[in-house]
Amino acid sequence: MKSSANFRVGLFLILSLFMIACFIVFILVKKNVFTNHLYYTLSSSTGEGITEGMPLLFSGFEIGKVEHFELDSKGTVLVLVKVPEEHAHRINKSSVFTLERPLIGSSRFIVTTPNITDTPADSNYVFETQMVDDINEVIKKLQPMVEKIDEIATNLKTLTDEKSHLNKTLVHVEKITNDLAQKRGIIEMMAGDKAAAAQFREGVAHLNNSLGEIETLISNANKTLVKADDQILGDEGTLSKVNAIVEDVNKKMADLDILIASLIKSGENLQEGTKDMDVLRKDLDSIINSVNSMVKDVRKVLPTTQDKEIKLP
């Protein structure tokens, strides 16, 4: 019975130790302790943002880490990247390494391989690193905005200054409201003193008087116009006489119309006469032509004293 209990304890211990050993192996395997790694060297113009253990991503998956980085004698930062053997085929001489510094989150290396079948890179091959600095880009974009904000602030300062126009305007407004509160007239406010306001009032009174005189003048002019109206448009006014003259002219024009009509008639007669003259002329032409032809015939028949040649004088 006692041996049976010892056996059981011994078995338990052995199994426990075995399980602990398995766990440790499992952890080590998971930690790639037994995996072979390949090392690649990257060169960068700056070491800013680079830290040891920084991940190397390929298509969003982590395939390696920054093992170590240092400054060489030429001032270039050399970064040693450790990549497990199983991912090494993703990196060759066509691979491009980019150091990305996002605005939010930590920096990382991203590798892209356009030609997956290119020659594999050996351990001496140094990759050039490109930079994508989101923080600097944002700062560049913000720079003009900050300048504008600064300008606005300066303008606001100028506006609110003691000697600014706005302040002066506000002082004037305050003065006017004070004057209004003391119930001083607008004229006095405009003139600046009471004496000038009094003069203004006197001027207005004088203007009123002048207007009265003008009204009188207009009424006199109206009366004159009435008289003129009587003289021009009255029964024995000028217009009636003009009307009589116009009537007389009209009568004479009517006579003239008759005269013109008779003249037109005479013209028509003359036109007819001209037609007759045309006929007469045609008759005369035909007679002259006949005479001409007769003269030619006579010339042909009668002897002539003319020479056959026309001689110059």
Binding region for other proteins (CB under 8 A): 296, 299-304, 306, 308, 310, 312-313
Residue with Cβ nearer other proteins (104 or 310):
310
Residue at 228: amino acid letter: A
Closest CB to other proteins among 4 and 304? 304
Count, residues in the chain: 313
Residue spans of alpha helices (H) in 182-237 = 186-191, 194-233
Q: Are 92 and 38 in contact (CB under 8 A)?
A: no
Q: Which is nearer to other proteins, 135 or 294 (CB)?
A: 294
Contact status, residue 77 vs residue 53, Cβ threshold 8 Å: no
Least distance in angstroms from the C-beta of 307 to other proteins: 9
Closest-CA residue to 128 (of 41, 38, 60, 64) = 41
The distance of closest approach from Cβ of residue 284 to other proteins in the complex, given in angstroms and rounded to an integer, is 19
Shortest separation between residue 292's beta carbon and other proteins, angstroms = 9
Residue among 192 and 313 whose Cβ is closer to other proteins: 313
> Residue 243 or residue 289: which is nearer to other proteins going by CB?
289
CB of 296 to other proteins, least distance (A): 6
CA-nearest of 153, 119, 126 to 42 is: 126
CB of 304 to other proteins, least distance (A): 6
Which CB, 248 or 285, lies closer to other proteins? 285
Q: How far is the CB of 238 from other proteins (least distance, A)?
A: 50
| Side chain identity, residue 239 | L
The answer to whether residues 54 and 108 touch, using CB atoms and an 8 Å cutoff, is yes
Output the DSSP codes for 84-137. Answer: EGGGGGG--TT-EEEEEE-SSS--EEEEE-S-TTSPPP-TT-EEEEEEEEHHHH
